[in-house]
Amino acid sequence: MRLDKFLAEAGLGSRKEVKQLIKKGVITVNAQVEKKDKTQVEPESDTIAYAGEILHYQKYYYYLLHKPAGTISATEDKKDRTVMDLFKSQDYRNDLFPVGRLDKDTEGLLLITNDGQLAHELLSPKKHVDKEYLAQVAGVMDRADQQRFREGIPLDGEPTLPAELMIDAIDEERRTSTVRIILQEGKFHQVKRMVKACGKEVIYLKRIRMGRLSLPNDLAKGAYRELSREELAQLKSSE
Ligand code: URA
Protein backbone atom coordinates (compact mmCIF):
# COMPACT_ATOMS: atom_id res chain seq x y z
CA MET A 1 0.00 0.00 0.00
CA ARG A 2 1.18 3.56 -0.72
CA LEU A 3 2.52 5.44 2.31
CA ASP A 4 0.09 8.35 1.87
CA LYS A 5 -2.87 5.93 1.74
CA PHE A 6 -1.67 4.20 4.89
CA LEU A 7 -1.36 7.50 6.73
CA ALA A 8 -4.80 8.70 5.63
CA GLU A 9 -6.36 5.40 6.69
CA ALA A 10 -4.51 5.54 9.99
CA GLY A 11 -6.50 8.74 10.60
CA LEU A 12 -3.65 11.24 10.29
CA GLY A 13 -5.54 13.48 7.88
CA SER A 14 -6.76 13.74 4.31
CA ARG A 15 -4.61 12.42 1.47
CA LYS A 16 -3.51 16.03 0.77
CA GLU A 17 -2.66 16.72 4.41
CA VAL A 18 -0.60 13.56 4.82
CA LYS A 19 1.36 14.32 1.65
CA GLN A 20 2.42 17.61 3.31
CA LEU A 21 3.52 15.73 6.43
CA ILE A 22 5.57 13.31 4.33
CA LYS A 23 7.28 16.25 2.56
CA LYS A 24 8.09 17.83 5.92
CA GLY A 25 10.10 14.74 6.89
CA VAL A 26 8.12 13.88 10.02
CA ILE A 27 7.17 10.37 8.89
CA THR A 28 9.48 7.42 9.41
CA VAL A 29 9.25 3.93 7.96
CA ASN A 30 11.25 1.43 10.00
CA ALA A 31 13.03 4.32 11.74
CA GLN A 32 14.13 5.97 8.44
CA VAL A 33 12.67 9.33 7.38
CA GLU A 34 10.57 8.77 4.25
CA LYS A 35 9.83 11.73 1.99
CA LYS A 36 8.12 10.00 -0.92
CA ASP A 37 4.34 9.59 -0.73
CA LYS A 38 4.39 6.81 -3.34
CA THR A 39 6.64 4.55 -1.25
CA GLN A 40 5.06 1.14 -0.79
CA VAL A 41 4.64 0.00 2.80
CA GLU A 42 3.47 -3.24 4.36
CA PRO A 43 0.91 -2.30 7.07
CA GLU A 44 1.31 -5.60 8.91
CA SER A 45 5.08 -5.66 9.16
CA ASP A 46 6.54 -2.14 8.66
CA THR A 47 6.81 0.24 11.61
CA ILE A 48 5.48 3.61 10.53
CA ALA A 49 5.65 6.58 12.86
CA TYR A 50 4.61 10.23 12.91
CA ALA A 51 6.85 12.50 15.00
CA GLY A 52 8.15 9.40 16.75
CA GLU A 53 4.72 7.95 17.55
CA ILE A 54 3.99 4.55 16.02
CA LEU A 55 0.84 4.46 13.91
CA HIS A 56 -1.50 1.52 13.91
CA TYR A 57 -3.31 0.71 10.75
CA GLN A 58 -6.99 -0.03 10.93
CA LYS A 59 -9.12 0.09 7.83
CA TYR A 60 -12.58 -0.23 9.27
CA TYR A 61 -14.06 1.29 12.41
CA TYR A 62 -17.27 0.23 14.08
CA TYR A 63 -18.96 2.25 16.80
CA LEU A 64 -22.16 1.62 18.66
CA LEU A 65 -23.90 4.90 19.50
CA HIS A 66 -26.87 5.47 21.77
CA LYS A 67 -28.55 8.14 19.70
CA PRO A 68 -30.34 10.75 21.78
CA ALA A 69 -33.50 12.47 20.53
CA GLY A 70 -32.81 15.81 18.87
CA THR A 71 -29.88 14.65 16.70
CA ILE A 72 -29.96 13.97 12.97
CA SER A 73 -28.69 10.67 11.51
CA ALA A 74 -26.46 12.31 8.93
CA THR A 75 -22.81 13.25 8.59
CA GLU A 76 -23.59 16.97 8.32
CA ASP A 77 -26.52 19.31 8.61
CA LYS A 78 -26.77 23.08 8.27
CA LYS A 79 -29.30 23.48 11.06
CA ASP A 80 -29.23 20.60 13.51
CA ARG A 81 -26.69 18.68 15.54
CA THR A 82 -25.79 15.42 13.82
CA VAL A 83 -24.84 12.11 15.40
CA MET A 84 -21.27 12.75 14.19
CA ASP A 85 -21.13 15.87 16.39
CA LEU A 86 -21.26 13.49 19.38
CA PHE A 87 -17.85 12.10 18.43
CA LYS A 88 -14.71 13.21 20.26
CA SER A 89 -12.12 14.72 17.92
CA GLN A 90 -9.71 11.82 18.49
CA ASP A 91 -12.33 9.31 17.25
CA TYR A 92 -13.79 11.40 14.45
CA ARG A 93 -12.90 10.49 10.83
CA ASN A 94 -14.56 12.02 7.82
CA ASP A 95 -15.34 8.63 6.26
CA LEU A 96 -17.56 7.52 9.18
CA PHE A 97 -21.31 7.48 8.57
CA PRO A 98 -24.44 6.20 10.34
CA VAL A 99 -25.87 2.89 9.15
CA GLY A 100 -29.41 3.81 8.20
CA ARG A 101 -31.51 6.63 9.52
CA LEU A 102 -33.35 7.13 12.75
CA ASP A 103 -35.73 10.09 12.88
CA LYS A 104 -34.68 13.19 14.81
CA ASP A 105 -36.97 12.26 17.70
CA THR A 106 -36.02 8.55 17.72
CA GLU A 107 -33.48 7.26 20.23
CA GLY A 108 -31.42 4.14 20.49
CA LEU A 109 -28.96 1.90 18.73
CA LEU A 110 -27.14 3.40 15.78
CA LEU A 111 -24.09 1.82 14.23
CA ILE A 112 -21.45 4.24 12.93
CA THR A 113 -18.82 2.84 10.58
CA ASN A 114 -16.75 3.38 7.45
CA ASP A 115 -17.49 -0.16 6.21
CA GLY A 116 -19.89 0.37 3.32
CA GLN A 117 -20.23 -3.33 2.58
CA LEU A 118 -21.40 -4.20 6.09
CA ALA A 119 -23.78 -1.23 6.07
CA HIS A 120 -25.30 -2.49 2.83
CA GLU A 121 -25.70 -5.98 4.22
CA LEU A 122 -27.42 -4.78 7.36
CA LEU A 123 -29.80 -2.47 5.52
CA SER A 124 -30.75 -4.42 2.41
CA PRO A 125 -34.30 -5.82 2.82
CA LYS A 126 -33.09 -8.89 0.89
CA LYS A 127 -30.75 -9.78 3.77
CA HIS A 128 -33.62 -9.93 6.30
CA VAL A 129 -31.68 -8.41 9.19
CA ASP A 130 -34.04 -7.61 12.09
CA LYS A 131 -34.38 -4.07 13.40
CA GLU A 132 -36.24 -4.11 16.70
CA TYR A 133 -37.96 -1.03 18.12
CA LEU A 134 -39.60 -0.24 21.42
CA ALA A 135 -42.54 2.13 21.02
CA GLN A 136 -45.03 3.93 23.21
CA VAL A 137 -48.26 4.30 21.32
CA ALA A 138 -51.30 6.51 21.88
CA GLY A 139 -54.15 4.06 21.43
CA VAL A 140 -54.68 0.42 22.33
CA MET A 141 -52.99 -1.95 19.89
CA ASP A 142 -54.66 -5.33 19.50
CA ARG A 143 -54.64 -8.68 17.74
CA ALA A 144 -56.07 -7.21 14.57
CA ASP A 145 -53.07 -4.84 14.43
CA GLN A 146 -50.72 -7.77 14.98
CA GLN A 147 -52.34 -9.50 12.01
CA ARG A 148 -51.95 -6.35 9.86
CA PHE A 149 -48.25 -6.20 10.72
CA ARG A 150 -47.82 -9.90 9.87
CA GLU A 151 -49.49 -9.44 6.51
CA GLY A 152 -47.58 -6.26 5.62
CA ILE A 153 -49.14 -2.81 5.51
CA PRO A 154 -49.37 -0.85 2.24
CA LEU A 155 -46.96 2.11 2.30
CA ASP A 156 -45.93 4.06 -0.81
CA GLY A 157 -48.24 1.90 -2.92
CA GLU A 158 -46.84 -1.49 -1.93
CA PRO A 159 -47.06 -3.65 1.18
CA THR A 160 -44.21 -3.70 3.66
CA LEU A 161 -42.46 -6.99 4.32
CA PRO A 162 -44.16 -9.01 7.07
CA ALA A 163 -43.34 -7.44 10.43
CA GLU A 164 -43.82 -8.52 14.02
CA LEU A 165 -45.82 -6.54 16.57
CA MET A 166 -45.47 -7.65 20.18
CA ILE A 167 -47.76 -6.04 22.73
CA ASP A 168 -45.87 -5.76 26.02
CA ALA A 169 -48.34 -3.68 28.06
CA ILE A 170 -51.62 -1.84 27.73
CA ASP A 171 -52.67 1.05 29.95
CA GLU A 172 -56.46 0.91 29.66
CA GLU A 173 -56.97 4.12 31.62
CA ARG A 174 -54.61 6.24 29.55
CA ARG A 175 -55.42 4.31 26.36
CA THR A 176 -51.73 3.74 25.56
CA SER A 177 -49.68 0.69 24.57
CA THR A 178 -46.07 -0.34 25.00
CA VAL A 179 -45.07 -2.46 22.02
CA ARG A 180 -42.04 -3.93 20.33
CA ILE A 181 -41.87 -4.02 16.56
CA ILE A 182 -39.47 -6.03 14.43
CA LEU A 183 -38.87 -4.91 10.84
CA GLN A 184 -36.50 -6.26 8.24
CA GLU A 185 -36.42 -3.10 6.16
CA GLY A 186 -36.24 0.62 6.80
CA LYS A 187 -38.70 2.69 4.80
CA PHE A 188 -39.03 6.37 5.68
CA HIS A 189 -40.84 6.74 9.06
CA GLN A 190 -41.78 3.08 8.72
CA VAL A 191 -42.76 2.29 12.31
CA LYS A 192 -44.71 5.52 12.71
CA ARG A 193 -46.56 5.01 9.44
CA MET A 194 -47.39 1.35 10.13
CA VAL A 195 -48.80 2.29 13.53
CA LYS A 196 -50.70 5.18 11.96
CA ALA A 197 -52.20 2.80 9.41
CA CYS A 198 -53.70 0.96 12.41
CA GLY A 199 -55.31 4.25 13.56
CA LYS A 200 -52.85 4.87 16.42
CA GLU A 201 -49.85 7.11 16.97
CA VAL A 202 -46.24 6.56 18.03
CA ILE A 203 -45.38 8.95 20.85
CA TYR A 204 -41.93 7.56 21.71
CA LEU A 205 -39.59 5.39 19.65
CA LYS A 206 -36.31 3.70 20.44
CA ARG A 207 -34.31 1.15 18.41
CA ILE A 208 -33.13 -1.57 20.75
CA ARG A 209 -31.60 -4.17 18.41
CA MET A 210 -30.07 -4.63 14.99
CA GLY A 211 -29.51 -8.22 13.94
CA ARG A 212 -27.83 -9.97 16.86
CA LEU A 213 -26.59 -6.72 18.39
CA SER A 214 -28.67 -5.21 21.21
CA LEU A 215 -28.35 -1.74 22.72
CA PRO A 216 -26.38 -2.31 25.95
CA ASN A 217 -28.08 -1.11 29.15
CA ASP A 218 -24.91 0.61 30.32
CA LEU A 219 -24.46 2.84 27.27
CA ALA A 220 -25.86 6.27 28.21
CA LYS A 221 -27.81 8.39 25.74
CA GLY A 222 -25.34 10.33 23.61
CA ALA A 223 -22.47 7.95 24.46
CA TYR A 224 -20.71 5.64 22.03
CA ARG A 225 -18.03 3.01 22.11
CA GLU A 226 -16.16 0.78 19.70
CA LEU A 227 -17.74 -2.61 19.06
CA SER A 228 -15.86 -5.48 20.64
CA ARG A 229 -14.61 -8.28 18.38
CA GLU A 230 -17.42 -10.52 19.64
CA GLU A 231 -20.07 -7.88 18.94
CA LEU A 232 -18.70 -7.32 15.44
CA ALA A 233 -18.73 -11.06 14.77
CA GLN A 234 -22.32 -11.24 16.03
CA LEU A 235 -23.36 -8.36 13.82
CA LYS A 236 -21.70 -9.88 10.76
CA SER A 237 -23.54 -13.15 11.30
CA SER A 238 -26.88 -11.41 11.73
CA GLU A 239 -28.70 -12.53 8.64
N1 URA B 1 -39.36 3.99 11.99
C2 URA B 1 -39.72 5.27 12.22
O3 URA B 1 -40.86 5.65 12.01
N4 URA B 1 -38.77 6.10 12.68
C5 URA B 1 -37.50 5.71 12.92
O6 URA B 1 -36.70 6.53 13.36
C7 URA B 1 -37.16 4.38 12.69
C8 URA B 1 -38.10 3.53 12.22
Q: Where are the domains of the chain?
A: 3-54, 62-124+213-236, 130-210
The CB of 176 under 6 Å from ligand 1? The reply is no
The CB of 41 under 6 Å from ligand 1? The reply is no
Check if 3-54 and 62-124+213-236 are the same fold.
no
Give long-range contacts, CB 8 A cutoff, 24+ apart: 153-158. 153/193, 153/194, 153/197, 153/198, 154/197, 155/187, 155/190, 155/193, 155/194, 155/197, 156/187
pTM: 0.85
For residue 193, give the ligand 1 atom closest to its CA: 3
pLDDT of residue 130: 96
Domain 130-210 has CATH 3.30.70.1560: yes
CA 25–ligand 1 middle distance (angstroms): 50
CA 19–ligand 1 middle distance (angstroms): 42
Res. 57: pLDDT tops 90: no
CATH number of 62-124+213-236: 3.30.70.580
Res. 204: pLDDT tops 80: yes
For residue 189, give the ligand 1 atom closest to its CA: 3
CA 60–ligand 1 middle distance (angstroms): 27
pLDDT of residue 13: 86
Question: Of the CATH numbers 3.40.190.10, 3.10.290.10, 3.40.50.970, 3.40.50.2300, which one belongs to the domain with range 3-54?
Answer: 3.10.290.10
